[in-house]
Structure 1
Amino acid sequence: MKTSPGTMVIRHGQVVDGTGSPPMADGAVVINDDKITFVGPESELPPLPEDARDIDARGGTIMPGLVEAHFHATYFNVRSLEDLDIKYPVEYVSLLASVNCKLALECGYTAARSGGCLFNVDFWLKRAIEEDLILGPRLSSSGREICSAGGLMDWNPEFRKIGMEGLVFIINGQEDARKAVRALVKDGIEWVKTYPTGDAAAPDVNDHHTLCMTFEEMNAVVATAHNHGMKVTGHCRATEGIKNALRAGYDCIEHGTFMDDEALDLLLERDVPCVPALYFEKASVLRGEEFGLPQQVIDGHQETLDGGAESAKRILRSGGRLGMGGDYGFGWNPHGDYARELTYFVNDVGLTPLEVITCATKTGAEIMGRGDEFGTLESGKLADVLVVDGDVIKDIAVLEDRSRFIAVIQNGEIKAGRLAKPIPTLVKTE
């Protein structure tokens, strides 16, 4: 049920429209039902119905809802990789994921693209959100992930005999790759997530310079997925893994950590977006010791952080596209901290707040394949709007504080923030 059906006007704030244009002082946004119908100076507001709801931005910022472009709803702030496949059954994972979705919306993220999930929970989360059964971001779903045997995600010893059926398809060769994708076709997901390379988390056999899939396997994944209208992305840190993914026809690159000139040229030639997901690395360095990460692993994450920051800056400065998503869902990088990725890119990488906001709104929507529907404040687009009590251009860290959100508007409805109606609770009576 809509919080405010009909017409809503948001004013008394600066408009940051997500296109990269400079902020508009004294701007206003008009919403009719679920669509934006006006964005411009408050002095040029069209006539409004007498019953229009008036939202006061209190001199703050009116901007598009944020897009988390690497979202793991089914990751439950895990402390070790093994937790992901042996800790909880699918029933409890589903409940935890619904809580994470609600939290993401409360943090200003009105849309999200999955970076992989346990079981096939994403597909059903998306449906539950669209049918207003649960609160959450508009979701572009992924599913069980794909990695070659002996690769980064194949961490269980053979004697366990569990096969990673909850999280990952372990493949050997092209036929296994095609079989895994066909199973995902039946699951109904949109994005196929693969693991072409290793990670600092596995320094002994699958570190961040290691390949975990062959080009032939990757090519088989892409050909099968594209045949069925699905897109393919991959965890790509090692330089050759990035190149293999781009040559195989991947639709997005996750991380893109160690990118040389050839890899950058391949990326730009096809205009493939990259989601660096750097705050996971930052959090691993800052809090790794607290969570018992070996120093070798922490050092690897520092190398990954430095390489990833440099590659991300080169991509954007060369005219490429970056999405924002911090790989949240681990104990040291928990759900709810999503906007720390944005602050990191401003304070540590050196991008401007306006650039980062564009990446976190417009580009995020483009990665989801829905750039014509949302991601910017433009007339005719879906009314996904974030109203913030503060100037996000002067201090982007304001977006880390959800108590500063006046309204999180999704589809023309106030779903979270100060103005959201509290959800009724049952009161136990004697």
Structure 2
Amino acid sequence: MKLQPGSTLITNGQLIDGTGAAPVPNAAVIVTDGLITYAGPAAAAPPAPDARVIDAKGGTIMPGLIEAHIHLTYFNVTELQDLDIKFPVEYVTLQSAVNANTALECGYTSARSGGCLHNIDVWMKKAIEEDMIPGPRLSASGREICGAGGLMDWNPDYRKIGMEGIVFIVNGPEQARTAVRKLVKDGIEWVKTYPTGDAASPDINDHHTLCMTFDEMHAVVATAHNHGLKVTGHCRARDGIYNALKAGYDAIEHGTFMDDECLELLLKRNVPMCPGLGFELFSVERGKDFGLSQRVLDGHQETLEAGAESARMVLKAGGTLGLGGDYGFGWTPHGTYAQELTFFVNYVGFSVLDTIKCATLGGAKMMGRAHELGTLEKGKLADVLVVDGDVMKDIRILENRDNLLAVMQGGVVKAGTLTQPLS
């Protein structure tokens, strides 16, 4: 991805640097050849006589947001066939390119895949990095892994429909190893698994059930780590969280029914977690309009309450949280990602600064790129949001992309109202 040559001065705004530190009023950020060379009080900024100037208009200068659990290949999913048999790979790829551009326009300069169809994310990452299409810097996952009869094994056997486009169905450690080896050849970074069920499947694999054995999970981890890949898992049930941590998982998705024993192990191993909780609230609030049954809605309500408490536990204990998750369903469409931040402030009870830290530095840590992304500090890539308004007073302004003056990647202004022609 190209870096912007020369110098850019962003001024006349408060600085929220993503570290969790208090905002700096009347701040300035200087970008030189795509890297941050200064971020702090404007009065102490070094001279930048030849710099291009971006006026923050008294608003907020902050790091680009990081979606820590994105599904670029999900496009307004309302039923299961939308995920495996509705469209060919060619059309899903086009949908994914649209979603990638939407994410960038919404201020998400980086994203970590939570699983995809047909290995599209690997090639989407390449296209984005080569500036072929606009989108967030992407940490690529691939097709997912689930135990036979588990949450993702939803097509009845009599249909004789394969699931190869979305998931490898495994039965035992040997098949688990084989699935990972295929993913190695695909060129992914993250192996996504399903240790547990979900409220979406109350009759067979609800949020208290397990969908993989410990031996299968351990086989996934051993094989993935041998090839330098990382492993994560959809973990709702308490035992699924614990098994994942014991098996050596590198991240936890959701971590819904966390207990003290799981938390202790999470912190000991320094494993980050992405709660992905807004999806639960929006399922409860909007799901009936899309035909979700009352049993499913009740399950999401239970998951919502337990997941919020788990997130509070991890934050209080000093663990790493990333924000994002499962946008791309009919009730959580692409382009509404920043609802997650509002949700964590207004429902879960995080402070605005903690929420922004999770949505920037936390996501960068989950991607393994905190050394270059996630905060506005000297030497890091200039992935910057310039926001028209005070996010400390109203986090909701991030939900409206019209409030984004500039979305920068490596100092290049890729989106925002400053890129729009004057009327």
Q: TM-score scaled to structure 2, two decimals? A: 0.98
User: Are residue 330 (structure 1) and residue 329 (structure 2) matched?
Assistant: yes
The 3-state SS of whatever aligns with 2:407 is strand
User: Are residue 11 (structure 1) and residue 11 (structure 2) matched?
Assistant: yes
Determine if contact 1:77/1:331 at 8 Å carries over to the other structure: yes
1:19-98 alignment runs, 5 A limit? 19-50=19-50, 52-98=51-97
The 3-state SS of whatever aligns with 1:31 is strand
By how many angstroms is 1:421 displaced? 5.3
1:206-285 alignment runs, 5 A limit? 206-285=205-284
Which one-letter code corresponds to 2:16 in the other structure? Answer: V
The 3-state SS of whatever aligns with 2:418 is coil
Which one-letter code corresponds to 2:12 in the other structure? Answer: H
By how many angstroms is 1:159 displaced? 2.0
User: Match of 1:145?
Assistant: 144
1:131-142 alignment runs, 5 A limit? 131-142=130-141
Determine if contact 2:68/2:112 at 8 Å carries over to the other structure: yes
1:161-197 deviations in whole A, cap 9, x for unaligned?
A: 2220100000000000000000000000000000000
Determine if contact 2:39/2:376 at 8 Å carries over to the other structure: yes
The 3-state SS of whatever aligns with 2:54 is strand
Indicate how the Cα distance of structure 1 residues 20 and 263 shifts in structure 2: closer, same or farther if over 3 A, else same.
same
User: Match of 2:351?
Assistant: 352
Instruction: For 2:374 and 2:13, locate their aligned partners in 1 and report how far apart those are by CA, in whole Å.
Output: 19
Tell me which moved more, 80-89 or 129-138.
80-89
Determine if contact 2:3/2:410 at 8 Å carries over to the other structure: no
The 3-state SS of whatever aligns with 1:199 is coil
User: Match of 2:403?
Assistant: 404
Instruction: For 1:5 and 1:404, locate their aligned partners in 2 and report how far apart those are by CA, in whole Å.
Output: 26
By how many angstroms is 1:44 displaced? 1.4
Instruction: For 2:330 and 2:84, locate their aligned partners in 1 and report how far apart those are by CA, in whole Å.
Output: 16
Determine if contact 2:63/2:383 at 8 Å carries over to the other structure: yes
1:101-159 deviations in whole A, cap 9, x for unaligned?
A: 00000000000000000011000000000000000000000000000110000000112
Q: Deviating runs (4+, > 4 A) in structure 1?
A: 1-4
Which one-letter code corresponds to 2:136 in the other structure? Answer: P
* Identical counterparts, % of pairs: 69
1:292-325 deviations in whole A, cap 9, x for unaligned?
A: 0000000000000000000000110011111001
Which one-letter code corresponds to 1:74 in the other structure? Answer: T
Tell me which moved more, 320-329 or 171-180.
320-329
User: Match of 1:297?
Assistant: 296
1:72-99 deviations in whole A, cap 9, x for unaligned?
A: 0000111012220010000000000000
User: Are residue 117 (structure 1) and residue 116 (structure 2) matched?
Assistant: yes
Determine if contact 1:4/1:53 at 8 Å carries over to the other structure: no
By how many angstroms is 1:394 displaced? 1.2
Instruction: For 2:393 and 2:266, locate their aligned partners in 1 and report how far apart those are by CA, in whole Å.
Output: 32
Determine if contact 2:2/2:410 at 8 Å carries over to the other structure: no
By how many angstroms is 1:2 displaced? 7.3
Which one-letter code corresponds to 1:26 in the other structure? Answer: N
User: Over aligned residue pairs, what C-alpha RMSD do you find?
Assistant: 1.1
The 3-state SS of whatever aligns with 2:242 is helix
Extract unaligned runs of 5+ from structure 1: 423-430
Instruction: For 1:142 and 1:77, locate their aligned partners in 2 and report how far apart those are by CA, in whole Å.
Output: 20
Determine if contact 1:328/1:337 at 8 Å carries over to the other structure: yes
Determine if contact 1:234/1:254 at 8 Å carries over to the other structure: yes
By how many angstroms is 1:49 displaced? 3.2
Determine if contact 1:264/1:315 at 8 Å carries over to the other structure: yes
Which one-letter code corresponds to 1:129 in the other structure? Answer: I
Instruction: For 1:228 and 1:193, locate their aligned partners in 2 and report how far apart those are by CA, in whole Å.
Output: 15
Which one-letter code corresponds to 2:22 in the other structure? Answer: P
User: Are residue 321 (structure 1) and residue 334 (structure 2) matched?
Assistant: no
Indicate how the Cα distance of structure 1 residues 143 and 90 shifts in structure 2: closer, same or farther if over 3 A, else same.
same
Instruction: For 1:347 and 1:326, locate their aligned partners in 2 and report how far apart those are by CA, in whole Å.
Output: 17
Indicate how the Cα distance of structure 1 residues 230 and 287 shifts in structure 2: closer, same or farther if over 3 A, else same.
same
The 3-state SS of whatever aligns with 2:288 is coil
Indicate how the Cα distance of structure 1 residues 269 and 285 shifts in structure 2: closer, same or farther if over 3 A, else same.
same
Which one-letter code corresponds to 1:10 in the other structure? Answer: I
Determine if contact 1:233/1:251 at 8 Å carries over to the other structure: yes
User: Match of 1:426?
Assistant: none
Instruction: For 1:113 and 1:160, locate their aligned partners in 2 and report how far apart those are by CA, in whole Å.
Output: 33
By how many angstroms is 1:207 displaced? 0.1
Which one-letter code corresponds to 2:321 in the other structure? Answer: L
Determine if contact 2:12/2:58 at 8 Å carries over to the other structure: yes
Which one-letter code corresponds to 1:21 in the other structure? Answer: A
Which one-letter code corresponds to 2:347 in the other structure? Answer: D
Determine if contact 1:398/1:404 at 8 Å carries over to the other structure: yes
User: Match of 1:184?
Assistant: 183
By how many angstroms is 1:5 displaced? 3.7
Q: TM-score scaled to structure 1, two decimals? A: 0.97
Determine if contact 1:361/1:375 at 8 Å carries over to the other structure: yes
How many residue pairs were aligned? Answer: 421
Which one-letter code corresponds to 1:341 in the other structure? Answer: E
Which one-letter code corresponds to 2:383 in the other structure? Answer: D
By how many angstroms is 1:235 displaced? 0.2
User: Match of 1:428?
Assistant: none
Which one-letter code corresponds to 2:297 in the other structure? Answer: I
